[in-house]
Amino acid sequence: MITKTHKSLVLLAGMMLTGQATALERSVKYPAIYPFVPMTTDEIYQDVSTVTENPEFEKNFFTIIRKGLSKAKTKQKPWTSTYWPMSKGMIADPYEKSTLSYYVDVGWIDWESNYDSFKKRLRKKLANVDSMSQESLNKLAPSEKYDVLLGDKTFDLTNRVWQYTHTWGSQKENGFVSRLFLAHDDALSRAEYYVDVLKWWSTYDDAFKYSWELRDTLSAKNALALVKMGKYDNVKDAYSEALEMAKEQEGEFVLAKKNSRLAGWEGICNGWSTAAGNVPRPRNPVSFKMDNGKELKFYPEDIKGLVSMFWVNSLVQNNYVKDLNEPDSGKFFGGTVSAGKRCNIKARKDIWGRKYDNKPDPFNGDHSARCSGVHPAKWHLGIVDIIGRQGRSFIVERKVGPAVDNHPMYKYKMEYFNPYNGREYDNEDKLDKNIERISDEDQFKQFRHKDAVYVVGVETKMTYMNYVKPRRQNSDSEENDETDDKKMWYDLELDEDYNIVGGQWRAIKVGQDPNDNRSASSKSRLNHNQPDFFWNVTKDWNDTSKSDLFKEVNIPEKWEDETRLPPKSWKDYAVGNEEKGIDGSHAFMYSERWDWGNGRTCDVVNKKTGKITQFPCDMETNKPQPLLNVINKLVKLSK
């Protein structure tokens, strides 16, 4: 835990200019976090072990090269698709009707008109689905085709997808708040649990001061204030009066208003990017004969959309957690592992042009490295193991910044350079010339790991799957994919045995201070291609003996004739049937609750002062899931 927020750094280094060394001395205040404070090797190795699911990952720089792991690609190529923009209704969008470029960033302007268009479409067109022409059936949105497949003329999934969009667009997270903890009736019992059972704090007073769940509530604040005034000796005695005061104060607060805009990047990229590397590619269209003699045709892109929607709303997106009831059983809840953090503030640049965090996380107050990118040693060791050794894809948040832009990684190539002069020695017998002993010539010397003896420059080109506009094509193959390349520069710190123990990102390949030359060309050469974070689903995500995440519903009536629509009873397991006691996958509610350990905080404004304060809150969100049995059937038939 960092107790000192900032440290003053006196920077003294040399810059190579036309063969001459010039000195720069400057006193600058930076936060006491990476990249200005070395990250411990234990933390680096632990994160790499977690994200690779391999405690025995290769750590030695030369061994990685000797094993041919400086470049690699996945065993199977992930498939491209769209991130299904929320402003267009995600998979409820009949995608080829767009008159503008599909990814024009105007979602914050026109999403409400898109929603109004859907409601009109529901009344005038979808209500007459039985009499639709074959051409119109072919052009239905993926969710609409799915609803027709199940014989659902209410279009339950389509409605729910649009309702989620409308709630998020108009109210953001406020639309999903189920409970706001202002007074927090059971705060004292929670403090008792933390102190007496979990032993997290030694006193109830400390629990009220430091618990993320309790410290921001009016009841806890009032209890602490009453003790400070001397009216009570401890918060336990003060709590009854503090709670009554809090209940009287509740009326002074309302949820802060949210804007009604949707960012153009918002969508289900985390659903597409995880599915694309794990679910077989839908290659061919799948058609079913309808009772009216027409065909219901799912193009490969329709199937990709439905798969992506299931994955984005599946609990597999939660962090990997072992089954607490059977911790040694191998069973788990959630299925994602990651390294790095999201940059959710506007980053500053240091004197080398690199991005960094200048203030704490606005949501939890934590001041740690987010906007400097995932640590380069974690990145280097992680991609070598996941793609190089395991041949698996993973998901990369491809750039530093508030927008989340997930893509499946496909391949990489690493080249090495001398960090002091920028020269690349790529001949096998000269590779060691890329490695320099750390000296005063090293611009980042004062930030190096205590065990670092050498430093080597790395230029990595990552190749990831890019978005494409969804297309109604009768076939999909690797030739239809779109990829993109990003180059990044960093150095790796090596110990005396050449094991990787740290590193630094570089905004320019070699040089001291890009701010010394503020020409347009100098600014343009700054490189910020380092990823925010990278993550993956666990290797055993589909093992139904360990998790229920991808376990099909047990439907008594089998779908025998795969040329026709499924049995009518299948609709009950998708939409739900209250009389039969079937909830239905569309009705899946995602809960974020404090008593489950995944609650949130909400912005609340004081009506008198206008000051915004954060209070704990619970969320209940309908994240409709297409019926997995249908998804699996479509994927199988489209191979």
347-356 residue pLDDT tens: 889 999 999 9
At 159 the pLDDT is 98
Mean pLDDT of 10-20: 37
Lookup result for tokens 């009841």: 219
d(CA 407, CA 532): 12
d(CA 34, CA 505): 11
Mean pLDDT of 397-410: 82
Task: List the structure tokens of 231.
Answer: 């009216």
d(CA 380, CA 458): 9
At 185 the pLDDT is 86
At 108 the pLDDT is 52
- The helix (H) or strand (E) run that includes residue 312 is helix 300-312
DSSP string of 120-140, one letter each residue: HHHHHTGGGGGG--HHHHHTS
Name 413's Cβ contacts closer than 8 Å, sequence gap at least 6: 70, 71, 460, 461, 463
Q: What residues does each domain of the chain span?
A: 6-82+320-532, 181-258+591-622
Q: Strands 406-417 and 395-397: what pairing? A: antiparallel
At 10 the pLDDT is 46
Cβ(40)–Cβ(450) below 8 Å: no
Mean pLDDT of 162-167: 96
Q: At 474, is the secondary structure helix, strand, or coil?
A: coil
At 21 the pLDDT is 37
Nearest Cα residue to 186 out of 529, 636, 562, 616: 616
Lowest model confidence (mean pLDDT) among 99-113, 150-164, 425-439, 544-558? 99-113
Mean pLDDT of 253-272: 90
At 514 the pLDDT is 63
pLDDT over threshold 70, residue 460 = yes
Confidence of residue 216 (pLDDT cuts 50, 70, 90): confident
Query: Between 232 and 516, where is the model more confident?
Result: 232
Confidence of residue 18 (pLDDT cuts 50, 70, 90): very low
At 3 the pLDDT is 33
pLDDT over threshold 80, residue 17 = no
pLDDT, tens digit (0-9, with 9 covering 90-100), for 357-393: 887 776 666 788 888 999 999 999 999 999 999 999 9
What is the pTM (predicted TM-score) of this model?
Answer: 0.90
pLDDT above 90 as % of the chain:
75
pLDDT over threshold 50, residue 11 = no
At 6 the pLDDT is 38
At 590 the pLDDT is 96
Q: Where are the beta strands (DSSP E) in 305-371?
A: 321-322, 332-333, 336-340, 348-349, 355-356
* Alpha-carbon distances, residue 226 vs 397, 618, 630 (angstroms): 47, 27, 59
At 364 the pLDDT is 61
Name 375's Cβ contacts closer than 8 Å, sequence gap at least 6: 34, 39, 44, 47, 339, 340, 369, 502, 503
- DSSP conformational letter for 253: E
Task: List the structure tokens of 61.
Answer: 């720089």
At 100 the pLDDT is 56
Amino acid at position 208, single letter:
F
Nearest Cα residue to 317 out of 86, 588, 594: 588
Cα 54 to chain centroid distance, Å, stands at 21
pLDDT, tens digit (0-9, with 9 covering 90-100), for 560-585: 999 999 999 999 999 999 999 999 99
d(CA 154, CA 137): 16
Mean pLDDT of 449-465: 97
Cα 168 to chain centroid distance, Å, stands at 18
Name 24's Cβ contacts closer than 8 Å, sequence gap at least 6: 11, 12, 13, 14, 15, 512, 513, 516
Name 610's Cβ contacts closer than 8 Å, sequence gap at least 6: none
At 19 the pLDDT is 34
Amino acid at position 344, single letter:
N
At 264 the pLDDT is 82
d(CA 527, CA 533): 17
Q: At 54, is the secondary structure helix, strand, or coil?
A: coil
Name 407's Cβ contacts closer than 8 Å, sequence gap at least 6: 269, 273, 395, 396, 398, 464, 465, 466, 484
At 346 the pLDDT is 82
At 344 the pLDDT is 79
* Alpha-carbon distances, residue 169 vs 46, 103, 420 (angstroms): 38, 18, 50
Task: List the structure tokens of 525.
Answer: 């050469």
d(CA 420, CA 443): 9
Return mean pLDDT, the chain. 89
Confidence of residue 323 (pLDDT cuts 50, 70, 90): confident
pLDDT over threshold 60, residue 496 = yes
d(CA 504, CA 590): 39
d(CA 256, CA 347): 25
